[in-house]
């Protein structure tokens, strides 16, 4: 594996950052997870736009232009011979002192990792997940705003530990008002009486790229959608449920807190949206190997 760090490629064993990097010391930095499908980096420009939004919120100046980041991501995929897989793009505050002050970090660092990924076993996409609601509350928008995709993921990790302890693959986090925010790494969708519903971003949901793509697919398919506050009761009485995320894509949920969702099987609306989403991955995104641009690779 070749890792891109500040304009150079390093082998996996030599891809290192300073122990004084504030991304390591304090979680001071931002990141994006991006997928490659069929020789294309899906929604790359949208991910980079969101990266800049997160960095702006932290007063973190990315030392590259968006176009330079696009080219660097493509080059990293090419260097690793990847047409399908996953990119982790990070910007850290950079090397500094042991103090918190970000002004002591003269230059941020950019890291790009390209590899393969399999978040869930295939059976979960066919049979659906069983998940639980956990006690850990989603960060308030007045603390570490969940819209910032920062390197500090302890809120999500604490919830993931509770999911592990419960013996399930995912967990719902509620916000301080008791409404559904999101899962530890995914956005939440339910289907009720033919309507597609997902929590609003104001509830603590990430500005999900896959989330937005699914809402676009719903509009194209004529499926009515809305973004109301959702309680656990709304989830329990849903006809269908699924989660979305860059790594997870779209994965059905068939049981929450011991309550069976719908008939306990992935539903038809989920199936139609998944098909529409997968169609988009074949045509949307930056081409990695131009010589292959006329073919759809699998």
Q: Which two tokens stand for residue 186?
A: 């995914």
The full 3-state SS of the chain, as one line of letters, equals: CEEEECCEEEEHHHCCCCCCEHHHHHCCEEEEEEEEECCEECCHHHHHHHHHHHHHHCCCCCCCCHHHHHHHHHHHHHHCCCCCEEEEEEEECCECCCCCCHHHCCCCEEEEEEECCCCCCHHHHHHCEEEEEEEEECCCCCCCCCCCCECCCHHHHHHHHHHHHHCCCCEEEECCCCCEEEECCCEEEEEECCEEECCCHHHCCCCCHHHHHHHHHHHHHCCCEECCCCCHHHHHCCCEEEEEECCCEEEEEEEECCEECCCCCCCHHHHHHHHHHHHHHCCCCEECCHHHCCCCCC
Give the rounded distance of the alpha carbon of 70 from its chain centre: 18
Candidates 2, 43, 95, 149; catalytic one: 149
Question: Do the beta carbons of residue 30 and residue 91 sit within 8 Å?
Answer: yes
193 is catalytic: no
Residues designated catalytic: 149
């Amino acid at each position: 594996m070749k890792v891109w760090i500040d304009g150079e490629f390093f082998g996996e064993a030599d891809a290192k950052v300073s122990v004084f990097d504030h991304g390591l010391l304090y979680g001071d930095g931002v990141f994006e997870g991006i997928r490659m499908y069929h020789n294309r980096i899906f929604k790359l420009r949208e991910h980079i736009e969101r990266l800049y939004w997160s960095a702006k919120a932290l007063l973190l100046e990315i030392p590259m232009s968006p176009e330079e980041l696009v080219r660097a991501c493509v080059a990293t995929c090419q260097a690793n011979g990847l047409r399908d897989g996953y990119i982790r793009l990070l910007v850290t505050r950079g090397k500094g002192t042991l103090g918190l002050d970000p002004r002591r970090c003269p230059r941020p660092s950019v890291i790009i990792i390209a590899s393969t990924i399999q978040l869930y076993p295939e059976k979960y996409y066919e049979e659906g997940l069983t998940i639980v609601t956990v006690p850990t509350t989603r960060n308030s928008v007045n603390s570490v705003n969940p819209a910032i995709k920062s390197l500090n993921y302890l809120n999500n990790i604490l919830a993931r530990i509770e999911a592990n302890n419960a013996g399930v693959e995912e967990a719902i986090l509620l916000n301080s008002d008791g409404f559904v925010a999101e899962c530890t790494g995914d956005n939440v969708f339910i289907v009720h009486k033919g309507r597609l519903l997902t929590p609003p971003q104001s509830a603590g949901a990430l500005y999900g790229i896959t989330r937005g793509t699914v809402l676009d697919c719903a509009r194209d398919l004529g499926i009515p959608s809305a973004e109301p506050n959702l309680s656990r009761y709304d989830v329990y009485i849903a006809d269908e449920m699924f989660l979305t995320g860059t790594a997870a894509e779209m994965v059905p949920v068939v049981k929450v807190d011991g309550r069976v969702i719908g008939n306990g099987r992935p539903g038809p609306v989920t199936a139609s949206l998944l098909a529409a989403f997968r169609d988009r991955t074949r045509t949307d995104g930056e081409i990695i190997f131009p010589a292959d641009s006329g073919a759809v690779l699998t």
